[in-house]
Structure 1
Amino acid sequence: MALNRRGLLTGGIGAVAAGLLSGCGGKDLDDLLAQAATVPKSTARLTWWVSEIPSRRGAVVADLIIRAFERRHPQIRVSKINAMSTSDGNRSALTTQLAGGSSQPDVYQGDTTWPPQFGHAALALPVEQVLPDGFWDAYPDALRRSSTYLGKVYAVPFFTDSTYLYYRKDLLAKHGLRVPRTWEELLRTSRTVQQTGDVADGFLWQAGVTEALTANVTEFLADAGAPVLDERGRAALGGPEAERAFSLMAEFTSSGVTPSNVTTWAESDSQDAFVSGRGLFLRNWSYAWVNASTPEVSRVAGKVGVALRPGFEGTGRSGNSCAGGWSNFINPSSRHLGAAVAFARFCAGDEVQRLLAREAGVVPALTSALHSKEARAAGDATVLRAADLRLVDRPVQTPYYPQVSKALYTPANSVVGGDLSPAAGVRAAGDGLRAALEGKSQ
């Protein structure tokens, strides 16, 4: 069927209910939840849409999870559908497929920003009734908030992703410099080491016109104490704090601390530059630690340290990290809802979460797994320091989040590129946010 994306993401409650019923063979939500609450005793075959999960020791992590699940549930077989490498690409492909009523994939790995969009469009099953009481007590509050839309939970935790400041500990030691505690200090330190010729770039990050820049903007605004939305979910971006954040982004490039082509970069571009030895500092997600520390792919392996992100001088707001990661969603049109829920819950449980700590270059969602013997043995600083982070939510609690994200990253990209002043960028972002939240932007 032809899919009108705007119509899909802006329909009212009646349209949502109609979509749910028409997408599931005419069954109502109570029927679906009854099916989802029971693990089948007969043979069932599931498909799992899953992206490649970074591996510590070369194993295909998704295959390890599937084999572990099938040992516990021998009547259920799981096969993978290899997903795309980007959040936006997966969202587009899944939206098209699920809106057509496809029964596959039964379970799909999705970004933690997706629940409002997919829940609003009835492309994910609300699962709070099939989760046990107290379930969320074992997971970070930020993950529960991002999984919930209008009081309903649409995602089951899998793994989280947080951002850190990676740095060349060998170069800081060589020049007698400490890990920067503020952005102002990072700028000074970067210029000092760049002037010696020991490194080409000071600070590597992501400022392309993608969701990656939205995450960065969210963090810089939090560092400056600038809210994006107010307590009622309305646009609140503006004022000197927001301009301070946008001014910092502009200064990175205008000072030469960050290369000018950062305006085209996503996470992989900045990571590639860092592991090739080009940069002194890198802001990236937790998975970058494994890649930076692996001699086969990194020229700087053994020379990298990890710290919490700095803050602005005089604010005391260091250690902010965008709350990211991936969860498992249930296709409401699945023919095996009980098996699908069992698999999603298994991925959120202790066995898989410890497996992730041992084998995967990601942060387990289960809080206890962060302190497990597997996490200590892996020695991944991003896992061991995860509890020290201040998690910051992107403004995701709206079905218009793709438009909200665009309203942030488009003017921010122009500010970084020197085409807009920081003040003009903040005004454009504020205006764009208001339009996006009202469903008036594309």
Structure 2
Amino acid sequence: MTLDRRALLTSAAGVAAAGLLAGCGGKDLDDLLTQAATVPREPARLTWWVSEIPSRRGAVVADLIIRAFERRHPLVRVSKINALSTSDGNRSAIATQLAGGSPQPDVYLGDTTWPAQFGHASLALPVETLLPTGFWDAFPAALRDSSTFRGSAYAVPFFTDSTYLFYRKDLLAKHGLRTPRSWEELLHTSRTVQRAGDVETGFLWQAGVSESLTANVTEFLADAGAEVLDARGRAVLGGAEAERAFSLMADFTAHGVSPRTVATYKESDSQDAFANGRGLFLRNWSYAWVNASNPKVSHVSGRIAATLRPGFEGTGRSGVSCAGGWSNFVNPSSQELGAAVEFARFCAGSEVQRLLAQEAGVIPAMTSVLSGPQARAAGDPTVLRAADLRLVARPVQTPYYPQVSKALYTPANAVVRGSLSPSAGVRAAREGLRTALEGKAL
């Protein structure tokens, strides 16, 4: 079987490659997997495309990992290539580079939403047969699902990112209010504290026209018990459950609990507003705890807490989190496939996973590490409560995921802005999903 580098689908940033792209020098996939299965016994050099990893104590986490790997493999030297700061920007940049057959980077850090798109386009080496038996037993099922396309894994777990409800514990205590157990209660609690003049905004989240909103929509739909795609990958979004989720997004802005500007917010916007004391509640990824609890950058340090996201009244569902995070992918054009696969596996191993728990402001992907001494010593509630989450995957198991994501976030943003009713937003999303899954969307 020869690797066929198919047309890379249009990304959210507008990068497209039409027609068949250059293969890996015409190499046979079996030959590539044979090379990848052997760690080199002579000097080798690797490049790792990696973005900055949040740090708990100021260390450059990527450098710590590289040094640990080089101690285990003294013949291999690893250098970094600094990746971009956003998922969409990274996807476009790395896809453009790999589509031309570049042998570098050998390993690249990518979002958990990428495997189907990159696997379909032959921009990532299928690694399923290169992983030891029982490998996936150490990781959440949702992570394996998002890493797999048509029965093969195209990504090796590194760290996960989950979402939580961060809140001002001092303000809840002042008003004798408990942590909300439902979205309806959160709306009421927010208005109570806002009317008292103690906070400007009740609930901060991300509703800008981007992947950030897709993650939020995925969670609200799961809260309500609404499906996006069925087991066969067909769009089935609809019904009272989906409308309940879209109505909640409209209620946040309609009742003034969220500012109208939330329709432009991404993660950093909402996090900055919360750290500056403008919000009572914040939905954000786990790394927000490190930033909001740092007295050097946060005005609310020492006055915040984190808990699982609430659910809707009467559903019995709470603690839902979108399954996020970053994994390592292997460039099939790498000249050092054996070393590249070994590095990706090393990052998924217990040594690095414990290092992440101790040094990084992210959640280790390996489940057992979450209850280990490094996680407990970190004292981060997002790590300590990670095992309690109900992880849900975005509809990523399609090479058309960028278009699928757009089909969700575009009407959802219109609902938040008030220019589309919740029922109309659900209908628009369903039709957009169907078009996207047929490969007809831009």
TM-score by length of 2: 0.96
Asked whether the 8 Å contact 1:9–1:120 carries over to 2, the reply is no
| 1:90 matched to 2:74 | no
Deviation at 1:382?
0.5
1:28 matched to 2:56: no
Q: Which amino acid aligns with 2:264?
A: T
Determine if contact 1:164/1:382 at 8 Å carries over to the other structure. Answer: yes
State how far apart, in whole Å, the 2-side matches of 1:374 and 1:239 are. 45
Residues 97-153 of structure 1: CA distance to partner in whole angstroms, max 9, x if unpaired? 000000000000000010000000000000011111111111111111110000011
Letter in 2 for 1:207: A
3-state DSSP class of the match of 1:284? strand
Specify the code of the residue in structure 2 equivalent to 1:185: E
Seq. identity, %: 80
Name the structure 1 match of 2:41.
41
The one-letter amino acid paired with 2:347 is C
Maintained 8 Å contact 2:156/2:348:
yes
The amino acid across from 2:348 in the alignment is A
Within 5 Å, give how 1:133-282 maps onto structure 2.
Answer: 133-282=133-282
Per the TM alignment, residue 440 of structure 1 is displaced from its structure 2 partner at its CA by 1.0
Is 1:312 matched with 2:292? no
| Structure 1 letter corresponding to 2:213 | L
Matches within 5 A, 1:309-348: 309-348=309-348
Measured against aligned partners, the alpha-carbon deviations of 1:67-116 in whole angstroms (never above 9, x if no partner) come to 11111111111110111111000000011000000000000000001000
Whole-angstrom distance in 1 between the partners of 2:24 and 2:423:
49
For residues 65-84 of structure 1, the aligned pairs below 5 Å read 65-84=65-84
Q: Kindly indicate whether the alpha-carbon contact (under 8 Å) linking 1:23 and 1:332 is maintained by their aligned counterparts in 2.
A: no
Q: CA deviation at 1:265?
A: 0.6
1:194-238 CA-partner distances (Å, limit 9, x unpaired) = 011111000000000000000000000010111001121100001
The AA in structure 1 aligned to 2:250 is: A
Task: Please state how far the C-alpha of 1:27 moved relative to its aligned partner.
Answer: 1.2
Residue 354 of structure 2 corresponds to which residue in structure 1?
354
The secondary structure found in structure 2 opposite 1:78 is strand
For 2:188 and 2:6, how far apart are their aligned partners in 1? 46
Distance in 1 between the 2:434 and 2:359 partners? 43
Asked if 1:286 corresponds to 2:286, the answer is yes
Distance in 2, matches of 1:142 and 1:242, equals 22
Cα distance in 2 between the residues matched to 1:6 and 1:256 = 47
Q: Provide, for residues 272-331 of structure 1, a one-character-per-residue CA deviation record: whole Å limited to 9, x for no partner.
A: 000000000000001101001111111111111111000000001111000010000000
Q: Where does residue 380 of structure 2 map in the other structure?
A: 380
Q: Contact 1:411 / 1:428 at 8 angstroms: preserved in 2?
A: yes
Q: CA deviation at 1:9?
A: 3.0
* Residue matched to 1:390: 390
Contact 1:271 1:282 survives alignment (8 Å): yes
Q: Distance in 2 between matches of 1:268 and 1:8?
A: 29
| Aligned AA (1:165) | L
Indicate conservation of the 8 Å contact 1:275/1:299, yes or no.
yes
Gap regions ≥5 residues in structure 1: none
- Whether the aligned pair in 1 keeps the contact of 2:6 and 2:122 (CA below 8 Å) is no
Contact kept, 8 Å, 2:202 with 2:257, in 1: the verdict is yes
CA contact (8 A) 2:250 2:417 kept: yes
> Cα deviations across residues 230-273 of structure 1 (Å, max 9, x unaligned)?
12110000111111100000010011000100111100100000
Letter in 1 for 2:329: F
2: CA distance, partners of 1:262 / 1:277:
16
Alignment of 1:364-375 (within 5 A): 364-375=364-375
Q: Distance in 1 between matches of 2:319 and 2:48?
A: 34
Do the aligned residues in 2 keep the contact of 1:159 with 1:363 (CA within 8 Å)? yes
- Give the deviation of 1:23 after TM superposition: 2.9
SS in 2 for 1:7: coil
In 2, Cα distance between equivalents of 1:382 and 1:148: 26
Rounded to whole Å, the distance in 1 between the matches of 2:306 and 2:417 is 28
The aligned residue for residue 412 of structure 2 is: 412
| 8 Å CA contact 1:415, 1:425 repeated in 2 | yes
Alignment of 1:93-112 (within 5 A): 93-112=93-112
Give the letter for the 2:30 counterpart: D
TM-score w.r.t. the length of structure 1 is 0.96
Aligned to 1:423: 423
For 2:23 and 2:320, the matched residues in 1 are separated by 40
Q: 1:242 to 1:6 in 2, by over 3 A?
A: farther
1:420–1:435 CA distance, 2 compared to 1 (3 A)? same
Verify the 8 A CA contact 2:7 2:121 in the aligned structure 1.
no
Instruction: Confirm or deny that 1:119 pairs with 2:119.
Output: yes
- In structure 2, what is the Cα distance between the partners aligned to 1:72 and 1:41? 13
Q: Quick check: 1:161–1:285 contact (8 Å CA) kept in 2? A: yes
2:384 and 2:320 map into 1 onto residues whose CA distance is 16
Distance in 2 separating the partners of 1:124 and 1:255: 46
Secondary structure at 2:347's aligned position in 1? helix
* C-alpha RMSD of matched pairs (Å): 1.5
**Counterpart Cα distance in 2 of 1:7 and 1:216:** 30
SS of structure 2 residue aligned to 1:122: coil
Question: Shift of residue 6 of structure 1?
Answer: 9.7
Q: Is the 8 A contact 2:226 2:241 kept in 1?
A: yes
CA 1:206–1:6 in 2, change beyond 3 Å: closer, same or farther? farther
- Contact residue 108 and residue 328 of structure 1 kept, 8 A: yes
1:25, distance to aligned residue in structure 2 (A): 1.6
